[in-house]
Amino acid sequence: MPENTPPAELYRHGLQLLLDKNIPAWVDLWAEDGILEFPFAPQGWPGRLEGKDAIAAYMCHYPDHIDLHDFPDVRIHRTTAPKTIVVEMRGMGRLVETGAPFDMTYIAVVTVQDGRFTSYRDYWNPLAVQEPGVDFAGSTR
């Protein structure tokens, strides 16, 4: 994406890549030193991933665990910081191993610089996924 891509446009493009299960292209939206944080991560799960390589390793098996079908309710809010957005959204799909429905709401605070994600704080409720052995990114613990 061009360096001047607005944060909301970059974010929506990223959601489409996740629906397309194109994790390498999604990771390519990140700055080399990007930081992905999960402030509510349970004990034993990563709370912070530093760098594009760590984010790629974390996300590489996502489609093997969570089959995303839709983001039916995405609301993107601008902030007083022009490169930062707050996103409210809902992700729907199924857990691949069990076929159980996946329905999660998220709030994310995302910062973009030069057309790349530099900071992404993902506030989600880990208690909403009760399947044993599956964490919030869909990789096995």
Positive or negative, the CA dihedral 125, 129, 13, 54 is positive
Q: Is residue 42 part of a domain?
A: yes
Q: Is residue 68 part of a domain?
A: yes
Phi and psi dihedrals of 41, rounded to 5?
-60, 130
CATH number for the domain spanning 62: value is 3.10.450.50
pTM attached to this predicted model:
0.88
**Domain carrying residue 23:** 7-117
Task: Give pLDDT, residue 28.
Answer: 98
Rg (CA), the chain: 14
More confident residue, 128 or 85: 85
pLDDT tens profile 61-111: 999 989 999 999 999 999 999 999 999 999 999 999 999 999 999 999 999
- Split into its structural domains, the chain has a count of 1
Q: What band does 129 get if pLDDT is binned at 50, 70 and 90?
A: low
Q: Which amino acid is at 1?
A: M
